[in-house]
Amino acid sequence: MVVTEPGTPGTSEPGAGPADFTPGPSQCVDKFAKPAPAETPCSNGKGWWDNTRQCYWTLDDPQRSAPGRDASVGAFYSCDPLPSFCASVPVGACFGISQWLDAPPPGIQRYTPAQAAGKLAKTFVLTAIEIGMVPEQKVHTDDPAGTAAYRRTWVGIPVWLWVNNPTPTSWGPESRTATLGGVTVTATAKVQSLTWNSGDGQNVTCGAGTPFNAVAYANTAAVDSPTCGLRYQHTSKGGTFTVSATTNWVVEWSGGGQTGNIQMPTTSTSTTLRVGELQSVNVVAPAGDTNH
């Protein structure tokens, strides 16, 4: 995957780069030049001129830590003034300004490795899992004609949960490589955890789970899933619960001699499950009857 970048700042060269790369000014003016304002080169070989700030922007290298800031989005940039500006301010008041910006200033067409990884991570389209569950969704033999398929179980009966038909975008890993802002990075989206919410207060964190094998378990007593499942201890008014599966994702990346992780938005899906109660009946045998 190759992403082209915008044209050269200060020129009419076309480009097709990321939207937050903006060109620098086409005419650069030093307002503090003597005896009158004068043109100055739009590039000093390191950075690009800012007519408003009257300085050359550069991407700080190396970057420093920024508590509370997302390094996959923004970075530190310095804006260095010309000697003409320094001559117009008190001695000791002239210095470059380094500050955090969430987008590169005009003219800067380079990303830090973390920023490039952040841009690449945004190209991933991650999807919710397909729910695998026993009880399966079906029409039951005691349902009235015309009943739509649904899931049904009973209090105390094991419910099996798993990821059905996993794909790279629903379960990972999904990998991509791209060159963005002059930095080549490789990023891989992976599942950190999958959490099932039963709808009755239970939360179960599992891996991909174990698909139920109907043939292997035919004519056997109900057993719990060896890897991911639950049992309902009570029913509810109406007897129906919403079961949801939430996937937590992370993107691991490397490039530009650096590595890192980026937390991704969760994906989620759900289904409904009807939970009933099996009633037992105690029968008192007639006096002297032992066949009960």
Residues 6+ apart with CB under 8 A from 25: 9, 10, 42, 49, 50, 51, 106, 107
Structure token pair of residue 173: 């890993």
Question: Same domain for 136 and 246?
Answer: yes
pLDDT digits (tens, 9 = 90+) for 231-264: 999 988 778 999 999 999 999 999 999 999 999 9
Whole-angstrom Cα distance, residue 41 to residue 52?
15
Question: Same domain for 264 and 153?
Answer: yes
**Number of structural domains, the chain?**
2
pLDDT digits (tens, 9 = 90+) for 43-77: 998 899 999 989 999 999 999 998 999 999 999 99
Q: Does the pLDDT of residue 8 top 70, yes or no?
A: no
How far, in whole angstroms, is CA 225 from its chain's centroid? 29
pTM for the complete prediction? Answer: 0.80
Assess contact for 195 and 187: CB atoms under 8 A.
no
3-class DSSP state for residue 195? Answer: strand
Give the CA distances from residue 254 to residues 123, 160, 170, 219, in Å, rounded to whole numbers and listed in that order.
16, 37, 22, 52
Question: Same domain for 260 and 195?
Answer: yes
Whole-angstrom Cα distance, residue 191 to residue 169?
10
Confidence band, pLDDT 50/70/90 cuts, at residue 100 = very high
Question: Same domain for 158 and 237?
Answer: yes
Q: For 100-124, b where at least 16 C-beta lie within 10 A, e where not — what string?
A: beebbbbbbbbbbbbbbbbbbbeeb
Q: What is the pLDDT of residue 33?
A: 92
Whole-angstrom Cα distance, residue 254 to residue 83?
40
231: left (phi over 0), alpha (psi -120 to 50) or beta: beta
Domain that residue 54 falls in? 29-108
Task: Note whether residue 281 is domain-resident.
Answer: no
pLDDT digits (tens, 9 = 90+) for 187-222: 999 999 999 999 999 999 999 999 999 888 887 888
Whole-angstrom Cα distance, residue 53 to residue 36?
18
Q: What is the pLDDT of residue 155?
A: 94
Confidence band, pLDDT 50/70/90 cuts, at residue 20 = low
Task: Note whether residue 59 is domain-resident.
Answer: yes
Task: Note whether residue 148 is domain-resident.
Answer: yes
Which run of H or of E encompasses 244?
Answer: strand 240-255
Task: Note whether residue 289 is domain-resident.
Answer: no
* Percent of the chain at pLDDT exceeding 70: 87
Q: What would the DSSP string read from start to end of 8-66?
A: -TTS-------TT-----SS-EETT-SSS-EE--SB-SS-EEETTTTEEEEE-SS----
